[in-house]
Structure 1
Amino acid sequence: MITQVHARGTFVGAAIRRAYAARDVTDLVPQLIAAWEGSGELSDLEATARPGGYDTGRLATMLAEPLRDVNTPPPRPVWRCTLELDPAERRLTTGEWAAAVRDLLDEAGLAPHGDRHGVRWIAVAHGDARIDIVATLVRQDGRTEPARDGRRRCVNATRNLERRFGLAPPPPEPGSTPPSTPHAAPTPRSTPPSVRERLRRQVRAAAIVASDEDDFLHRLRAAGLRVRLRRSRADNSVTGYAVSHPTSAGSDQQPWFGGGQLAPELSLPHLRGRWAQTPRTPETPVPTTPEQDQRLWQQAGDAVANATNDLTRSPEPLSAQSAHAVADLLTTTAAAFPEPRAQRLTDAAELLHRAIGGRHRARPPAPDARAIRLRSLARLVGLMGYLSNDRKSAAAVQLLYLLAGFADNLATLRQAQQRRAQAAAASTAAAYLHATARDHRRPPVPPAPPRPSPVTPPKTSRQPTRSRSR
């Protein structure tokens, strides 16, 4: 479980609208699942849907009521927190999420159990993988809740919730055994990916391999996705895109997602910057012979090894842009493996992106030579196709071990930085990679030869022995 305590805000209405609009984890509509002691029926508080969003005015008025009853409210009285499940963790029911939120707020000191004079808060669920919590830091008895050391308390509460609900255990503290050692095969996810998650993976795979915008749109349509372009009213130029799965007969209408809703780096401006930075010249031809394939796998492995060495190098550590390019290389490498190993590797790539972080920027980052090199290799690996012989398979497995080493080092780095959620994501990715490489190297067990049926010796007629009488 990943916990994020956001910076405190000023306007209650804006925080609630953001909680209801934060549909970046699941394709389901937001739902109010829990509220403060004495709030009454949740159905009476629930925001109503309207064109373009939700009407949260009444809910914001009730949540902000304690603020209006004090003479000097705190300058930033709005507290917001997000709880999100890791892809490898089982999903929680609505009742479990409500209990988890109440326990977290109790252990964080914001809303102790049974305190009807505590702060007012709400919890909005987006499917079964994410919860947004909004609270106002003036208690109903007029006292201000300082919420001191809220982030540390919430992180400790999250660890207790993981143990209580049987979720993924936290990585060990620095100085102990590395978080992903030993590398046992992780427990497979209990629920299939959401619609948004599947779209994000398909769009990311197309963006990595595409040479330009037209090629990207062609690959999306070739993958069976519906594509809708957003155009400027001024000059009719394309400013964005949205994708959806096709609607089959007798099924409900499939939701549409813009590129920026799938992931920040999948918005059209970011993708255009990516394609402009990544060369598509004859200097990087698509492999056509086994020797070229072998050379490409070796080049990819060398690039990952160098990125791992530079991950913690001072004073110029590996940039986030280059680290995300390593995860892109893993995405295209996954396509070369058969199912279900390809799915496990794709999960590992998504976890690596989460562990790296640092992608929420309005504009694409400046060009990075190492990132450009890694992206070029990722594109060529994606164009190469399936593993067709033992030499290619051995080279691909070697690359998986190098990628696992990168994830291991990233987990150690994030743990030292006290970024526990990202350390857990990198640790799980490393475990996926080690397990897949180990399984792929293990030769298949040949079927046992049929056991010969027992042969019954033929019966021979023997004459009885006659004894001579004397």
Structure 2
Amino acid sequence: MISRVHPRGRRVAGLLRYLYGPGRREEHRNPRLVAAWDGAGDLQSLEPRITAAGKRDFRRLVTLLEEPVRRIERPPKRYVWHTSMRLAPEDRARTFSDETWGHMAREMLREIGVATPADDEGLRWVVVRHGDDHVHIVATLVREDGRISWLRNDYPRTVAATYDVARRYGLRRAVAPADRTAHRRPSAAELNKSARRGRRETPRDELRRRVRMAVAGAATETEFFDRVRGAGLLLRLRNSTTASGQVTGYAVALPADLTADGMPVYYGGGKLAADLALPKLRRRWASPASTDVPPVGRAERTAALADAARVTRAAADEIRQTAYADPARAQAAALAASDLLTALAYTVEGDRRGNLTRVAETFDKAARDIRGRVVGHTGRSYELRAMSRLVVLMGRVSGDGDMLAALALMMDLARLADALEHLRHAQRRLHQAQAARSAAAALRELADRPGMPAGSSLTPTPATGPSMATPRRTDLSR
């Protein structure tokens, strides 16, 4: 089952005439009311009657729906709320009665706050059915007590409520509730520019990847800035306008990404990803990680990877144990584990975007919190971040011993991804649960690859990726 929230309107009468009319392709058959607000009375009395001329008279129903709107002095300009609920194609063979459709719509409306008990002077709404597989819901956004209900964030709330209804009725859940963790998508202009220049990824995506590698290997703000410059990126710091010498933000650019005037195109950290804004990075670095560079050799590198695997196993156990009791603690470990996998990808593949780097990006989607939120540190997250930085300091994998240790760490990170999937299911963040499952499967596939030569990269021969020649336009209507 899926819901669609339509643009808000100004006229109840026009919408009802369309819903009771033939439709654009004669798809509206036998339109009728199947539910209405508490206190509306009998549905038969609300049903628009057919006049002697063979047309429906909507005046009484429109008057009842608009009555709270007409009573206030300054009603909202667009007070008509319209959504539809539709069965997934796999469920359209099932036939539900009008009463069942009315119950499903009422349950969804109750979850998002449109339907209220009879003793609550809430909104007025009706459910119209004119087909076997869907219904339409029309509501006016002024409560009977005169207050306006703005129904903010109505789309994600409606999707989540519809998902719950589908689960209770054994229907296919076509769209999982939004988890509000996705990065900002590149604009059509960015995609077109990258396609013209033959780039496999947009500057925004490349900068995000490189900045994450710098974050994974840094213990302090100064070290982070040094690593960004060392990666060949242009760095611009933003200073406070009130406190002299205080840095409040940063922006990065690729030297080859220029405007028509030859100026670099800078992206602020928060524009790359919500959790890469400088204040949130500072919360990550609030750890006692040592800034001393240890002696580096193959034996030390192997030992460091083995230590990281040990800490990863302990973190996986902790995430499973705290998924329900202390999800914030589990979240701290998951975000720090994302840095460790990013560091491992850099150690094995360097700056090239190979398979392991792609897995790290998928794992990052599963690990990040809502709106880039960074939770407080725990002892386990301190350990993971220390291991992340140590792995970066150890340098590139170069022989059989450290490659085998890297593969063993991948297997332990796959087990941690399994635990992360368990956490996201507990939180009902199903997009992230799917990302964790994909990351775990990909890590096992890479670690089990037979005949991996010593010191080899996991980067395959470049294959044709998603084309940027025909970018999709981003829907800015919501």
The residue number in structure 1 matching 2:42 is none
1:150 Cα offset (Å): 4.3
After superposition, the Cα gap between the structure-2 partners of 1:113 and 1:408, relative to the gap in structure 1 and judged at 3 Å, is: farther
SS of 2:444's partner is helix
- Per the alignment, do residues 263 and 341 of structure 1 end up closer, same or farther by CA in structure 2, a change over 3 Å counting? closer
Q: Is the 8 A contact 2:318 2:330 kept in 1?
A: no
Q: Which segment is superposed worse, 435-444 or 208-217? A: 435-444
Deviations 1:246-297 (A, max 9, x none): 2457868654322222233322223233334142255xx4351222112111
TM-score w.r.t. the length of structure 2 is: 0.54
Letter in 1 for 2:443: L
Structure 2 counterpart SS, 1:246: coil
Superposed counterparts of 1:213-252, under 5 Å: 213-236=221-244, 237-247=246-256
Match of 1:352 among 363, 376, 393: 363
Aligned to 1:427, which of 437, 441, 448? 437
Equivalent residue, structure 2, for 1:392: 402
- State the identity as a percent: 33
Per-residue deviation, 1:79: 9.1
CA distance in 1, matches of 2:283, 2:250: 15
- Post-superposition CA distance 1:110-158 (Å, at most 9, x none): 999999x9779xxxxxxxxxxxxxxx968xxxxx999896414258699
Give 1:398 shift: 0.6
2-side partners of 1:246 and 1:78: how far apart? Answer: 50
Residue in 2 that maps onto 1:126: none
2:298 is aligned, of 275, 287, 290, to: 290
Other-structure match for 1:437 = 447
Q: Which residue of 2 aligns with 1:407?
A: 417
- Segments of structure 2 that go 5 or more residues without pairing to the other structure are 12-65, 84-107, 115-126, 143-148, 177-198, 455-478
After superposition, the Cα gap between the structure-2 partners of 1:286 and 1:366, relative to the gap in structure 1 and judged at 3 Å, is same
Contact (CA 8 Å) 1:200, 1:262: kept in 2 or not? yes
Q: Would you say 1:369 and 2:374 are equivalent positions?
A: no
Q: Distance in 2 between matches of 1:78 and 1:368?
A: 48
Structure 1: runs of 5+ lacking an equivalent: 6-33, 40-65, 82-107, 121-135, 139-143, 163-190, 445-470
Cross-structure match for 1:305: 313
TM-fit CA distance, 1:397: 0.4
The answer to whether 1:335 aligns with 2:343 is no
Q: Which residue of 2 aligns with 1:201?
A: 209
| 1:151 matched to 2:126 | no
Matches of 2:269 and 2:81, distance apart in 1: 29
* 1:379 Cα offset (Å): 0.6
Partners of 2:159 and 2:175 within 8 A in 1 = no
Change (3 A) 1:423 1:233: same
Whole-angstrom CA distance in 1 between matches of 2:420 and 2:138: 38
Taking the aligned partners of 2:237 and 2:82, their CA distance within structure 1 comes to 34
Number of matched pairs: 316
Match of 1:379 among 364, 378, 389: 389
Give the AA of the match of 1:425. A
Give the alignment's Cα RMSD to 1 decimal.
Answer: 4.9
Task: Decide whether the 8 Å contact of 2:3 with 2:162 is kept in 1.
Answer: no
Alignment match of 1:277 (pick from 277, 287, 290): 287
Contact 1:397 1:441 in 2 (8 A): no
SS in structure 1 opposite 2:448? helix
Q: Kindly provide the amino acid, as one letter, of the partner of residue 286 in structure 1.
A: P
Give the TM-score normalised by structure 1.
Answer: 0.54
> Is the alpha carbon distance of 1:274 and 1:416 closer, same or farther for their aligned partners in structure 2, counting shifts above 3 Å?
closer
With over 3 angstroms needed to count, the CA separation of the structure-2 counterparts of 1:242 and 1:440, relative to structure 1, is: farther
Cα distance in 2 for residues equivalent to 1:80 and 1:366? 41
Find the residue that maps to 2:369 and give its secondary structure: coil
Q: Distance in 2 between matches of 1:4 and 1:210?
A: 44
Aligned counterparts, 1:131-210, within 5 A: 150-153=159-162, 160=174, 192-210=200-218
Gap change, CA 1:414 and 1:275, over 3 Å in 2: closer
**How far off its partner does 1:430 sit?**
1.1
Q: Does 1:266 align with 2:276?
A: yes
Whole-angstrom distance in 1 between the partners of 2:311 and 2:297: 21
Distance 1:266 1:248, change over 3 A: closer
